[in-house]
Amino acid sequence: MGGRLNADLAARLVARAFPRWADLPVREVQPQGHDHRTFRLGEELTVRLPSAPEYVPQLAKEVRWLPHLAAHLPFPVPEVVAVAEPTPDFPLPWSVRRWLTGDVASRARPDPVVFAGDLAAALVALRGVPAAGGPPPGGHSAHRGGPLAHYADEARTAVDALPDGLRATAHAVLDEALASTWTADPVWFHGDVAVDDLLVRDGRLAGLLDLGCSGVGDPACDVVPAWTLFEGPSRAVFREGLELDEDTWARGRGWALWKAAITPGAEDGVRAVCA
């Protein structure tokens, strides 16, 4: 389905479902995500289309929980303003959201040390949002927030394909990551803290985007930017600001290793995690 999701389709869907917005221009947003495709609708709105049926639960979750997060966070998260039902043109529900001003971190390139402190503070604030009744880890979160053991076999297989000089170190990182679990109360996690999901304005973090993989559980998956976004002084600032124990840090490193190991061209990413 993802291949046919384009601005023309988004414009047709808007015209049929929400005639009041039919005259607004529709254009593709770059960079695009994997689970959902986003199109800007006029100047103040966006259209967000799931790229496959398995991502519909993320939409339902966001509709239910984004207002709760917005009410407790000191920075913005996406606001759903309308939801459309499936039609023959597009057999999945989809949403219209408020446009958030700024640029994603991959394009804005903020100062890494300052940004590390901003991101750590944002994730601490997210963990502090009341979690009672929140969505536990599962398919909707790609099992992030749950035990890394869900991906252990996949990670081991990927690591076994690495060069000899890297394989043993990578297995040791996985061993340490799998040796503990989150024993405190479940907390909110983002689940996919990537450069294209972080909004920047005037060089500072201005919001968290795409909470489709969010939920309530173990926040270790949100430690991953330590290896994917930061290094040296910025990593140290991020680690200190997160205020998480050594076991959670080790589990986060395991999440980073799993993702790096299953990604094409895995060797460089794995080396960064294992360094």
| DSSP code, position 236 | H
pTM: 0.95
- Domains of the chain, CATH where assigned: 2-99 (3.30.200.20), 104-274 (3.90.1200.10)
Mean pLDDT of the region 226-242? 97
The pLDDT of residue 55 is 96
The pLDDT of residue 103 is 95
**pLDDT tens digit sequence for 12-50:** 999 999 999 999 999 999 888 889 999 999 999 999 999
Integer Cα distance of 236 and 184 in angstroms: 24
Integer Cα distance of 16 and 11 in angstroms: 9
Find all residues with CB under 8 Å of 247, minimum gap 6, and list them: 179, 180
pLDDT higher for 193 or 264? 193
Q: Is the pLDDT of residue 87 over 80?
A: yes
**Backbone CA torsion sign across 50, 54, 57, 62:** negative
The pLDDT of residue 4 is 86
User: Residue 112: pLDDT band by 50, 70, 90 thresholds?
Assistant: very high
